[in-house]
Amino acid sequence: MSEVEHEEILALIAAYALNSLDPDDTELVDRHLPACEICRAELDAYEAVVDVLPLGTPDAQPSSALKGRLMANIDHEPASESVAPPIPVVQEPRFGQRISEALESFFRGPRWRPVAVLIVIGLVVSNVILWQQLTAPDPNAWRRVRLTATEIAPEARGIIYISADGLNGTLIVDGLPQLGSKEQYQLWLIEDGERISGGVFSVDNDGYRGKQIESADPLQNYGAFGITIEPAGGSPGPTGERVLGYNL
């Protein structure tokens, strides 16, 4: 998927949450989501919006008889007759239980005890490795960095999503003022006082833009970020006013 396609899909996520996309766009997003943690995170946020919209519904009251109709219509059979039996839960042997079982088997001591010893050692080692894997940090976890607006653009908002492997990411901004044709916004990736351009962009009428970040080095190398106003096409270094920043 190209950068442009990803940015176009980002712009569709809000409507997808509302279930108001046309079928072809829905299909596009459906195909994209499983492989994009950033779009899934955006979807979670917009679904949270959709879930509170009912509270904005104009109030209405059904007839007082409706409750009586409900209670008369429901199946009055007791739970033991009408509810499916619970699915039995098979418990996996716990770490210690496996070891106990192995040791109990060992001390019952048939002739093949040396083999049993090897089996027990192997079991212990494999369980230790499994336990380490289960408690290790999730390698699929991604990072979200929220940018803070300055007085130049107090209504602006910005988020940077950094992929799980720390190599790349996506910038999403909204509420930024539209600039004239001779100016654009520029993202800066900052580490040890050095500022590297992460890309130049313009925003739409609502101050919105979703954009993949351009970086030769892994994004995880940078501890700070900033967005400034620059001449159209960008600058080698920041020259204009900062509108959004993180850890600056």
Partner 1 sequence: MQTTAKMQQLKDPALIELITQKDEAALGELYDRYHRLVYSIAINVVGMPEDAEEITLDVFSRVWDKAHTYRSERAGVSTWLTRMTRNRSIDVLRRENVRPMKHSVGWANAPREPVDESASPESATHIAMQITLVREAIASLPEKQQEVLALAYFKGYSHSEIAQELELPLGTAKARIRSGMQKLRALLVDE
Binding site for partner 1 (CB under 8 A): 11-12, 14-15, 17-23, 25, 45-46, 48-63, 66-67, 69-71, 73-79, 82-84, 146, 157, 174-175, 204-206, 208
- With respect to partner 1, which residue has the nearer C-beta, 80 or 132? 80
- With respect to partner 1, which residue has the nearer C-beta, 77 or 92? 77
- With respect to partner 1, which residue has the nearer C-beta, 79 or 216? 79
- With respect to partner 1, which residue has the nearer C-beta, 44 or 165? 44
- With respect to partner 1, which residue has the nearer C-beta, 14 or 123? 14
Give the shortest CB-46-to-partner 1 separation in angstroms.
Answer: 6
| CA dihedral of 36, 40, 43, 48, whole degrees rounded to 10 | -170
Give the shortest CB-110-to-partner 1 separation in angstroms.
Answer: 47
The amino acid occupying position 23 is: P
Give the shortest CB-126-to-partner 1 separation in angstroms.
Answer: 30
- With respect to partner 1, which residue has the nearer C-beta, 52 or 134? 52
Nearest 5°: CA angle at 209, between 156 and 221?
A: 85
Dihedral sign of CA atoms 10, 14, 15, 17 in order? positive
DSSP the chain: --HHHHHHHHTTHHHHHHT-S-HHHHHHHHHHGGG-HHHHHHHHHHHHHHHHGGGGSPP----TTHHHHHHHHS----HHHHSPPPPPPPPPPPHHHHHHHHHHHHHT--TTHHHHHHHHHHHHHHHHHHHHHHHS--TT--EEEEEEE-TTSTT-EEEEEE-TTSS-EEEEEESPPPP-TTEEEEEEEEETTEEEEEEEE---TTS-EEEEPP-SS-GGG--EEEEEEEETT--SS--S-EEEEE--
Give the shortest CB-57-to-partner 1 separation in angstroms.
Answer: 5
Give the shortest CB-85-to-partner 1 separation in angstroms.
Answer: 11
- With respect to partner 1, which residue has the nearer C-beta, 158 or 190? 158
Give the shortest CB-24-to-partner 1 separation in angstroms.
Answer: 10
Q: Which residue has the tokens 């009586």?
A: 68
Give the shortest CB-96-to-partner 1 separation in angstroms.
Answer: 28
